[in-house]
Amino acid sequence: MKISWKIWILIITVLSLLLVIFSPLISNFSSGVEISFVSKNSTAFEQGLRQDQIITHINSKPVASLEDYQEIINSNFPSNEKQKFTITTKDNEFILWTDKAPEINVRKVEKIRIKTGLDLSGGARALVVAEDKELTSQELNDLIDVTNERLNVYGLKDVIVRRQSDLFGKNSMLIEIAGSTPKELESLIAKQGKFEAKIGNETAFVGGNKDITYVARTGEQAGIYNCGKAQRENYVCSFRFAITLSPEAAERHAGITEKLTINPENPEYLSKKLDLYLDDELTDSLLIGKGLRGSKTTQIQISGSGTGLTKQEAFEDATLNMKKLQTVLKTGSLPFKLKIEKLDTISPSLGKKFINSILFAGLVAILAVGTIVFLRYRKIKLSIAVLLTSLCEVLIILGISSLFKTNLDLPAIAGIIAAIGTGVDSQIIILDESQMSQAFSLIQRIKNALFIILGTYITTVFALMPLFWAGGGLLKGFVITTIIGASAGVFITRPAFAEIVKLILKD
């Protein structure tokens, strides 16, 4: 029996996407915990610990779970004196001399690449708009940058901030924070993002159009200008960018710097630094060149650096730090207040129960469909073919979602169910057409069925497109998974199913 190339395409596609889904399980045979965050101003970061590394041992003790990790940390810290603390990852060993717990966050190692959204993992979500005006695309981009910066300053992780647009073109911002509560999220959003630049205890200028009229982002006035080896075999890359102060801010800056002396340890700079604060939190300190003492210049050059174990890592860190500073300097420039249109909380335990319910309901539905197909056509092989094809479509949807790292949330699950429904409908059309009058050959009848399926697919895609923007984009997951499932069905699974039907009926 010769197997059609269409069936081989289905087999290869499914096997390839199974490898994508289970690639963490294949690559991470050893147990351990995964680093989800490392503070950049910590000893752990200086020694080379990074996000996504997997810790397998601490002080030669195996770490198989989060409980093991926490038990070792609690038994060693706090300590009255610095001690040797050895952290072993899958690829390296790091030695810390510290009297406090490493400034890292860990999570369990995921065995598959399927990412669950906030609906299933738990947390808080807010849909945010401007209180008194509609935001332009540029204003929304600035708002997203500012919000990301603000949440990063507060040390929050697993944060998603993205733009949303509804059917009427209204722009809004969606914020999702795993493990947070609506009250915490609401209090963070309510903050105005105040920026201040201080020299000692005196404010030199604040963020926004009042004091800062221009911040260079790209071009000759902004960029990375030097990378090289530093101490401890680390690399350092430096950056600089220009800002323009208003005449009033320049005069205030000159009045403060006029009272400063030259730094005796570094004669090229003044005795005090320019400290940058966001919401009263110190984010960076910059040296002030001696040439700016008492000067009313409106042109100021901001500089800084980034470090890394490799030149590329240092370059990326410097780029990130520069963008962070640029964003901080624009924080106060947004002349509008925010309003929360929708605020939700999701329990992680509820998400787990929902997943179990969906799996059970999906299994029952697929078995019911298989039974109905058997009762109608009286061929067990056709029932099995329908079940296997539906399962393949689910695996293809999950595999493509894992490949592009899209979250699996409630709308996405609804999209998978819808895709299964349309897939079964198409398979029934193929089966019905194959059983029609013998006036046409089996090949011609199945071609007619595939033509009907293609027309239905095109109609479905066009009908789904408006939902992509509906509800501020909250139905995006439903649209994406439904289209992925329908597309995989039209171009991969249903042609293969048609070939399988031909083989069964010929037998």
Write the DSSP assignment of 295-312 as a string of letters: ---SEEEEEEEEEESSHH
Cβ neighbours of residue 494 under 8 Å, at least 6 residues apart?
389, 423, 426, 427, 430, 450, 453
Sort 495 into a burial class: Cβ within 10 Å, 0-12 / 13-18 / 19+.
buried
Q: What CA–CA distance (Å, rounded) separates 288 from 96?
A: 34
Q: What CA–CA distance (Å, rounded) separates 300 from 278?
A: 19
Please provide the CATH number assigned to the domain covering 349-506: 1.20.1640.10
Closest CA to 48 of 101, 86, 10: 86
Common-topology check for domains 29-108 and 349-506 = no
Cβ neighbours of residue 345 under 8 Å, at least 6 residues apart?
123, 124, 125, 181, 182
| Residue type at position 505 | L
Q: What is the pLDDT of residue 472?
A: 54
Q: What is the pLDDT of residue 148?
A: 74
* φ, ψ for residue 30, nearest 5 deg: -80, 150
- Give me the residue spans of the domains in the chain: 29-108, 123-192+337-345, 218-319, 349-506
Q: Confirm whether pTM is higher than 0.75.
A: no
C-alpha gyration radius of the chain: 29
| Residue type at position 284 | D
| Residue type at position 394 | V
Please name the CATH architecture into which domain 123-192+337-345 falls.
2-Layer Sandwich (3.30)
The percent helix, strand, coil of the chain (3-state, each to 5) is 50, 25, 25
Q: What is the pLDDT of residue 335?
A: 53
Q: What is the pLDDT of residue 8?
A: 93
Overall CATH class of domain 29-108:
mainly beta
Sort 266 into a burial class: Cβ within 10 Å, 0-12 / 13-18 / 19+.
exposed
Q: What is the pLDDT of residue 154?
A: 52
Q: In the structure encoding, which two tokens stand for residue 377, read together?
A: 């056509």
Give Cα separations from 491 to 12, 107, 109 (angstroms): 14, 39, 35
Q: What is the pLDDT of residue 193?
A: 56
Q: In the structure encoding, which two tokens stand for residue 182, read together?
A: 């609506």
Q: What is the pLDDT of residue 302?
A: 79
Contact 279/191 with Cβ under 8 angstroms? yes
Q: What CA–CA distance (Å, rounded) separates 378 from 311?
A: 67
Q: What CA–CA distance (Å, rounded) separates 393 from 383?
A: 16
Q: What is the pLDDT of residue 350?
A: 63
**How do 222-229 and 274-278 pair as beta strands?**
unpaired
Sort 438 into a burial class: Cβ within 10 Å, 0-12 / 13-18 / 19+.
exposed
Q: What CA–CA distance (Å, rounded) separates 126 from 144?
A: 13
What pLDDT, in 10s, does the model give residues 237-263?
Answer: 888 888 889 999 999 989 999 999 998
pLDDT per residue, tens digit, the chain (507 aa), is 678 899 999 999 999 999 888 877 666 555 788 887 787 667 888 888 887 788 999 999 999 888 888 889 888 887 788 889 999 998 889 999 888 888 887 878 877 778 777 767 777 788 888 877 788 887 888 778 777 766 664 555 557 788 887 767 778 888 887 656 666 667 666 555 567 889 988 999 887 667 888 888 766 678 888 888 876 668 888 888 888 899 999 999 899 999 999 988 888 889 998 888 866 778 778 888 888 889 888 888 877 788 888 888 888 888 877 877 776 676 554 556 778 888 877 766 666 676 777 778 777 877 887 788 788 888 888 888 988 998 899 899 999 988 887 777 778 888 888 888 888 888 888 888 887 766 677 778 888 888 888 888 898 888 888 887 765 566 788 888 999 999 999 999 999 999 998 888 876
Q: What is the pLDDT of residue 156?
A: 55
